[in-house]
Structure 1
């Protein structure tokens, strides 16, 4: 089996699939979706953006996932200063419902793409990472108004039956959410990969990813990219750069692309050759396994 270093080098490059782009707005949800040009019963991930940032800053990451055969959808909602983590979590679940229930794309030259509803994942950056945890912990049909202080999620067998077929969750530079992602993590029994950034002043690992990874109910691994700042994976310039610390870093983005791609291919497609990308040695990172099992 290839080492984690070899896997990261392979998966850091674009994959073999031609990529198409579409708009989630066509079905009433602002956002974007990237898909391989062709494929049946593909895996899919819904990706949540960071606070104040548009989904367009993650197009390179989403396109990369699609080039490896993963349908990647990103809602472009809740972008204001008082954005709701709860509503973004709902939008992430809606995005998964949409891509897994309709055929995507398709032209006179080729058939449309389909997603396997048993191969779904959630991921996000910063605020979007916290929303992904909430989305994984809460049943998709939960829309009632909660009493003050009541948790947003549920635990036990009922949650497992109602969360659809989400198989894995990945967080990147997670910032704490309201409701609490740390508390919600106790109800997530799925494999989780938590990527933290060592020089993150917005969501330091000790305050963001670490407590969530430790509270995670399922298999949980935290990897810290030592020289990365909070905005390491975004692209281009945006006015939010004046508010959030850090800057884009192509090296960090390439590493995260590889880690996320390998994690998703392993857990959604069952590609065991990428298993070591989760907890193996990768240059420039530290890794800590909080809870392991045969599915990590």
Structure 2
């Protein structure tokens, strides 16, 4: 498959603040929504209306959460030319991280192996990523450690799982971004995001949104809000959308216009950039 794609290049960006403003807004692509159930796996897929050789990301939901709580983020990525799919499996009270990681790998393989949008959309298997929130982030790390073609990983408020996401991180050599909440009491940074980042086998960015809690990355009400601390937050989602879009455009599409947002000072966040110990 040709490496040429029709992903949307961002406009000229003056600095990190300007990049945050631009990439937190939807991109110019009309977005299509599809059902993964058509290929035997429950879940959703969002894609730009057309494009060949596009990048793609498979996203894992948190404990008990429906993929619909991440629709805003998935649709946003698609508007910037990135196919974004989220399986809806393993939503019970005792999910299997190992099985969910297998579903994430299957989702990514389906996106790369099947023409979408009546044949007008295709994915380049060399330009794929895994991502997730909470326990779904832990499953994404397990999946990335076992998937030979993944080019990047992004986690939101990552949580340790069994098998260990920390152990999986040691086997991941591709660029990884962890976005954590400074007020997260469900998956506190010290016991989850930090040891996962420190174990990375490749370059890793750990960015903390200082006042964010665990549930601020999601949208809409859900009965689990009674169990978890915090609630959805528009500012946290806005920052997250921009950071994730920039990171994926950088590492899946070789887009250097977003460097300030990947490596620079972003308001309300703190960045630690780590490289693996030889």
Residue in 1 that maps onto 2:122: 114
- Structure 1 partner of 2:3: none
RMSD value, Cα: 1.3
2:138 aligns with 130
Q: Tell whether 2:38 aligns with 1:29.
A: no
Structure 2 gaps of 5+ residues are: 1-12
Once residues 14 and 166 of structure 2 are traced to their aligned partners in structure 1, the CA distance between those partners, rounded to angstroms, is 34
Cα distance in 2 for residues equivalent to 1:86 and 1:122: 14
Aligned-partner Cα distance in 1 for 2:19–2:274: 22
Matches within 5 A, 1:213-224: 213-224=197-208
1:122 aligned counterpart, secondary structure: strand
8 Å CA contact retained: 1:193, 1:278? no
**Structure 1 portions without partners, runs of 5+:** 139-162
2:165 alignment partner in structure 1? 181
Please report the TM-score for the alignment, with normalisation by the length of structure 2.
Answer: 0.93
Q: How many residues align?
A: 265
1:56 to 60, 68, 71: 68
User: Counterpart in 1 of 2:84?
Assistant: 72
- CA shift at 1:165, angstroms? 1.8
Q: Distance in 2 between matches of 1:166 and 1:61?
A: 20
Q: Distance in 2 between matches of 1:251 and 1:67?
A: 19
The superposition leaves residues 7-46 of structure 1 with CA deviations (integer Å, 9 ceiling, x where unpaired) of 1111000001000000000000000000000111000000
Q: Deviations over 1:73-101 (max 9, x none)?
A: 00001011100111110010000000000
Query: How many angstroms apart in 2 are the aligned matches of 1:208 and 1:279?
Result: 22
Secondary structure of the structure 1 residue equivalent to 2:239: helix
Q: Which residue of 1 aligns with 2:224?
A: 240
Q: Secondary structure at the match of 1:82?
A: coil
The CA deviation string for residues 162-195 of structure 1, in whole angstroms up to 9 with x for no partner, is: x332100011101111011111111110101010
Q: Write the distance in 1 (CA, Å) between the matches of 2:226 and 2:37.
A: 29
The aligned residue for residue 7 of structure 2 is: none
Q: Secondary structure at the match of 1:114?
A: strand
Give matches, 1:1-296, under 5 Å.
2-106=14-118, 112-138=120-146, 163-291=147-275
Partner residue of 1:144?
none
Q: Is the 8 A contact 1:279 1:288 kept in 2?
A: no
SS of 1:87's equivalent? Answer: helix
| Partner secondary structure for residue 94 of structure 1 | helix
Stretches of 4+ aligned residues off by more than 6 angstroms: none
Partners of 2:177 and 2:14 lie apart in 1 by 20
Q: Secondary structure at the match of 2:190?
A: coil
Pairwise CA distance, 1:275 = 2.1
SS at match of 2:161: coil
Q: Distance in 1 between matches of 2:227 and 2:150?
A: 33
